[in-house]
Chain A
């Protein structure tokens, strides 16, 4: 095994350690973030019109940028229906 692989393994172990220690924080956080993301994704898919941007753009934003992405969509992207 090369040195890099050791480091990777080490990182993975560290990540796992972080998770086992902090899961009471992480589990609800992940659920909330996923919920927000899902809500935004459903909205993006349901409404074909956007104030700015297009569907692909907003899907990327909403899925890959946690918290800020969905908020940005709800504030700037969602078209208000009268």
Chain B
């Protein structure tokens, strides 16, 4: 176990020194501020765009702000995250940086454990800091009571990150180059979106974790409906990490 701790420390240092942590933080903070701003500006932009034609544009509420937040997180945030972690495992194998460590007695599984742990921390930090930003601005600029379950709506997003990360790590290890892992991830997510068409599967589809957040925001019981999807996501993620370990075990270093 100590080897895993040592490797995790190394992962953390890597994220810090290669500025991965810093860049992700800044980008997600920007997303966090942008979400309420977009909600605020959208009516004005609509008015301006229609060239003075008077139509009834409703005043934005906290719901619009949170809608923007989840849009930004799920349509931009996860892909920026995926880009920054694209070569997460493949690079180590390509460049041969694992050779010295493995011949010093580092068990291969601890590579995956360390990467998963630091990746998850990064994800939580990223969506979390954006969340806090959006929350603060929303509370100040849209002081209404339309969004009662702010934190509950956020929970599925974090769990989805765990699943997303496992796909990214497995993809990165299967691919022989940096972008193959990215492609794998995008394909998996696209397939999951397509699987939403199948009615009976919806409650189990991990993608529901990032598409039903607004429902939870207004009514807490929507979260209970997501239980199957959360369990599926976590079980799948554990399975994918296990698969990643098995694949790495068979890799020539």
Residue numbers of A with Cβ under 8 A of B are: 22, 24-26, 28-29, 32-33, 35-36, 39, 43, 67, 70-71, 74-75, 80, 82
CB of B23 within 8 A of CB of A33, answer no
Residues from chain A with Cβ under 8 Å of B33 in the complex:
25, 28-29, 32
Residues from chain B with Cβ under 8 Å of A67 in the complex:
27, 30
- What is the CB-to-nearest-CB distance from B75 to chain A, in angstroms, rounded to a whole number? 14
CB of B83 within 8 A of CB of A22, answer no
Residues from chain B with Cβ under 8 Å of A82 in the complex:
95, 97
CB of A29 within 8 A of CB of B37, answer yes
A54 CA to B154 CA, complexed, in Å: 41
A81 CA to B41 CA, complexed, in Å: 43
CB of A71 within 8 A of CB of B23, answer yes
A35 CA to B29 CA, complexed, in Å: 12
**Which of A24, A36, A43, A80 meets B26, CB within 8 Å?**
A36
Main secondary structure of the interface of B (DSSP, over half): helix
CB of A74 within 8 A of CB of B19, answer yes
- What is the CB-to-nearest-CB distance from B81 to chain A, in angstroms, rounded to a whole number? 11
Interface centre among B26, B41, B80, B95 (most CB of A within 10 A): B26
Residues from chain B with Cβ under 8 Å of A29 in the complex:
30, 33-34, 37
Q: Is B115 an interface residue (CB 8 A)?
A: no
Residues from chain A with Cβ under 8 Å of B22 in the complex:
39
Residues from chain A with Cβ under 8 Å of B95 in the complex:
80, 82
- What is the CB-to-nearest-CB distance from B42 to chain A, in angstroms, rounded to a whole number? 13
Chain B 186-209 interface mask (CB, 8 Å, partner A; 1/0): 000000000000000000000000
Which are the 10 A-B pairs with shortest beta-carbon distances? A25-B37, A75-B83, A36-B26, A32-B30, A32-B26, A29-B33, A82-B95, A74-B23, A32-B29, A28-B33
- What is the CB-to-nearest-CB distance from A27 to chain B, in angstroms, rounded to a whole number? 10
- What is the CB-to-nearest-CB distance from A28 to chain B, in angstroms, rounded to a whole number? 6
